[in-house]
Amino acid sequence: MLSQKTIDIVKSTVPVLEKYGKDITTRFYQRMFTNNPELLNIFNHANQKQGRQQTALANAVYAAAANIDNLGAIIPVVKQIGMKHRALGIKPEHYPIVGENLLGAIKEVLGDAATDDIIKAWAEAYGVIADAFIGIEADMYKEAKEQPGGWDGFRNFMVDKKVKESDVITSFYLKPEDGKAIASYKAGQYITIKVLPEGEKYTSLRHYSLSDAPGNDFYRISVKRENGIGEWPDGVVSNFLHKSVQEGDIVQISAPAGEFVLEEKEIPAVLISGGVGLTPMVSMFKTIVKEQPERKVTFIHGALNSQVHALKDEVEKIVNEHENAESFVAYSAPTEQDLAEKNFDKQGFIDLNWLQSILADNQADFYFCGPVPFMKIMYRTLKDWGVSEENIHFEFFGPAGTLEEEAVTA
């Protein structure tokens, strides 16, 4: 338990963290990777370069300070981050390293304003927050290992099949090298893959949503090849998987994880995706028609055109075989062939007017996933339509962030 004095001091720093939070976390990562370069084997280098990890951590630190007298309020966020930590292999011994470098960064950025009392209070507060993470993550590690077919850390899987789904998306069917059982998962969850591309000094880890329904003897991920734009280089892991990993090769993955999961409800389900964000949606779509065949479900997908639209045949097959399932497609830049074949339902982007024209009402459970700009638009769209917060579910790719805040400020 923290003393009232410590709580008061930490809460007094909230305005400062709001102003200098990203400066502090940027310096924090610089310090940590200089002092402990081995941690570069865990952290997402692309998110570091883009500043997304720094922003996410700044938001987390700010939230912790603002709620230091009621840490129970941020437990949902702790669980979400903790789930990713478990998937990445973050262990208790990493927390003292983080704490030391975070306090050092606060001192460096704030200078004389970071008094001894402030540093001492934050050291105590960090200890309590770290213990909360360590405790929650310990339960997650235990559950991942002890579940049927579960395991600890990373396990070798063989690429059983590699299937090109579109010009930019390829599916990988993964089976355990040891031939033993694999852990089940909930529709919407992801696995974490660890690779060491040729020429790279450090391993790279990425989360990829599982794109098939649970219950198979394999895991399937459908990966978009990320091509560089402007100053941003090609995606290291996605290009390695597309170009270098072949059938029969071995990759390492951690057990399925994630808080973005399908809920069993009586009301209709609406699954909305943009680009490769359809991967968890396909898993949910297949799961609903299998486990709740009487439930109305609508699959809505937005893509550039048919050349980059993956898994379309699978979705159409489900619609043809299940009377309670329907699907709609929006192409923002249809090809001449798309226009001739009329193989889509809307030219342009998914918007409120179109949703209202194809859905009976807003009394449904909405799930959505896609690129960050798409996510912001969908969140605002559903809120503008009056969809209740409890019926809005999303997967925010990249570092944990607060989509609600990003949508408001976009």
Q: Of the residues 29, 62, 95, 185, which is catalytic? A: 95
When pLDDT is cut at 50, 70 and 90, the band that residue 410 belongs to is very low
What is d(CA 87, CA 282) in angstroms, rounded to the nearest whole number?
Answer: 22
Q: What is the pLDDT of residues 115-131, one digit of tens each?
A: 999 999 999 999 998 99
Q: Which two tokens stand for residue 378?
A: 């969908």
Residue 349: both structure tokens together: 């982007």
170 is known to lie in a ligand binding site: no
Predicted local confidence at residue 398, as pLDDT: 47
Does residue 396 have a known ligand-binding role?
yes
Residue 67 carries which side chain, given as an amino acid letter? N
pLDDT score of 63: 84
pLDDT at position 59 is 79
Q: What is the pLDDT of residue 235?
A: 86
* Catalytic hit among 137, 165, 226, 395: 137
Give the span between the Cα atoms of 200 and 191, in whole angstroms.
22
- Residues 267 and 366: beta-carbon distance below 8 Å: no
* CB-CB contact of 62 with 18 (8 Å): yes
Amino acid letter, 144: A
For 146-165, what is each residue's pLDDT tens digit?
999 999 999 999 999 999 99
User: Is residue 409 very low, low, confident or very high in pLDDT (cuts 50, 70, 90)?
Assistant: very low
Answer whether residue 232 shows pLDDT above 80. no
- 399 annotated as belonging to a binding site for a ligand: yes
pLDDT single digits (tens) 43-67: 876 666 666 677 777 778 888 888 8
Q: What percent of the chain has pLDDT over 90?
A: 78
How would you label 381-408 residue by residue, b for 16+ Cβ within 10 Å and e otherwise? bbeeeebeeebbbbbbbbbbbebeebbe
Return the structure tokens found at 317. Answer: 């097959």
> Do 197 and 153 meet the contact criterion of CB atoms below 8 Å apart?
no
Q: Note if 137 is an active site residue.
A: yes
Measured N-to-C along each axis, helices 116-146 and 4-12 cross at an angle, to the nearest 10 degrees, of: 100
Q: What is the mean pLDDT of the chain?
A: 92
Q: What does the pLDDT average to over 179-190?
A: 97
Model confidence band, residue 229 (pLDDT cutoffs 50, 70, 90): confident
pLDDT one-digit tens code per residue, 356-386: 999 999 999 999 999 989 999 999 999 999 9
Ligand-binding annotation for 397, yes or no, is yes
Stretch 177-206: mean pLDDT: 95
Distance CA 382, CA 376 (A): 10
Q: Which residues neighbour 74 within 8 Å (Cβ) at sequence distance 6 or greater?
A: 63, 64, 67
- Hunting for tokens 């949703």 — which residue is that? 355
What's the N-to-C CA distance of the chain in angstroms? 38
